[in-house]
Amino acid sequence: MALLDYFKPVVSMTAEDARVYMKGKNPDDYNLIDVRQPVEYERGHLAGARLIPVAELQNHLNEVDKAKPTIAY
């Protein structure tokens, strides 16, 4: 059994891709989620980003609009 056989690469957006994507859209067209800690969020975050720390994501999934693309950082 080769361990990596059970994994597949996850394609991520680069920061530049995200910048271009968001520039061409209305902020209501996508979910922008900051998964860092509250202190980090308070120090600075992307405009319009909503804070949901990664450990709390599972409990807040119903608050994320599944019909829209989601960008998380």
Q: Burial level of 71, CB count in 10 A (0-12/13-18/19+)? A: middle
Residue 58, interface with another protein (CB under 8 A)?
Answer: yes
| Interacting positions 15-44 with another protein (CB under 8 A) | 15, 18-19, 34, 36-40, 44
State how far the alpha carbon of 1 is from the alpha carbons of 4, 5, 10, in Å.
9, 8, 21
* Residues 35/53, Cβ–Cβ less than 8 Å: yes
Give the length of the chain: 73
Comparing CB distances to another protein, the nearer of 63 and 70 is: 70
Comparing CB distances to another protein, the nearer of 8 and 66 is: 8
Residue 53, interface with another protein (CB under 8 A)?
Answer: yes
User: Residues in the site for another protein, rule: CB under 8 A?
Assistant: 1-4, 6-10, 12-15, 18-19, 34, 36-40, 44-46, 53-55, 58, 71-73
